Amino acid sequence: MDSLLPIGELARRTGLSVKTIRAWSDAGLVPPDARTPAGYRRYGAEAAARLELVGTLRELGLDRAAIRAVLACESSPAEAAAVHAEALEVEIRALRRRQAVLTIAARRGSDAAELALLHRLAVLSVEEQGHLVRDFVDAVFGDGLRAPWTAGVVRSLTPELPADADRERIEAWIEWAELARDPEFRALLRTMAEEYETGRTADGPPRPDPVARVRTVVAPALAAGLAPGDPGAAPAVAAVLACGEAGTLLTRLEGMNDPRRDRHQELLARINGWPPPEPLAPVLAWAIEALRQSASVRK
């Protein structure tokens, strides 16, 4: 009995409070080796090491059942750590999704209805995410529009949210899901796909897309800081006019000049870890202004 330590001395040696040691002792994690006739606890030499292990496991978040299993040699510390690490990963993923929802809601000043929608989109299962993506793609390319040329486009429109996505990618997924569910946005992309399809020959590749041609000829003028009305921009304006019949081209560019299109591409890049895309809006705005000015001059 003389070689055993009273609880106060054990507390001094371990840096733990008497209250903590007593609680762990009562829980069966570090039981006393003996008691005095008056009922005071006494602990053996191994108690300090046992307390240190319990403290470490507690700080790592293991519950009492897991700690008891380690102390009873029913599982090793490594095995207990692996189980707990896996559980923590699940919890961390859930916390990231909650954080993403709350971040978006705070930024937007969302009401209760929008907050509920954001949460539903954030916690969709992998199967539910896949269903939303397929439904979106079918809305854009369904009803006979799917053709060999669409395969690459479909891939470029498909988000793949990693299971371990960080908050930024989850935020991008939530916003993408909102866009993908928007009937007006689906209709916009459907119209773009149909216009692209009309440029195809029966048995060959599509003709050069007017929008792609406009982008090619306008980009240098934009990079040079030229506005459509500047004298140095005349060759670029002429090149825009050569991309198609002015009225038809203007209507098409105005229809495509929707900020949701660029935002959609930006969100996809963030979700999939792609390089940030070059926005199309500045090109479209430049070309639209050039076409309008040209029409005004002709009048």
Does an H or E element contain 5, and which?
A: strand 5-6
How far is 299 from 295, CA to CA, in rounded Å? 6
Model confidence band, residue 12 (pLDDT cutoffs 50, 70, 90): very high
Give CA separation, 20 vs 38, 94, 236, in Å: 21, 31, 78
274 DSSP β-pair partners: none
Which region among 103-112, 172-181, 247-256 has the lowest average model confidence (pLDDT)? 247-256
The burial class, CB within 10 Å (0-12 / 13-18 / 19+), for 182 is middle
Is residue 145 within 8 A of residue 194, CB to CB? The reply is yes
pLDDT score of 10 more than 60: yes
Tell me the per-residue pLDDT of 29-69, one tens digit each, with 9 for 90 and over: 999 999 998 999 999 888 999 999 999 999 988 988 899 99
Predicted confidence at residue 210, as pLDDT, reads 81
Predicted confidence at residue 197, as pLDDT, reads 73
Is residue 284 within 8 A of residue 226, CB to CB? The reply is no
C-alpha dihedral sign at 163, 167, 170, 172: negative
Predicted confidence at residue 151, as pLDDT, reads 72
Please state the length of the chain.
Answer: 299
Residues 163-184, mean pLDDT to the nearest whole number: 95
pLDDT score of 205 more than 60: no
Report the largest interatomic distance among the alpha carbons of the chain, rounded to a whole angstrom.
112
Output the six-digit token pair for 18: 């008497």
How far is 176 from 171, CA to CA, in rounded Å? 9
pTM above 0.85, yes or no: no
Does an H or E element contain 57, and which?
A: helix 47-59
What average pLDDT does the structure give for the chain? 88
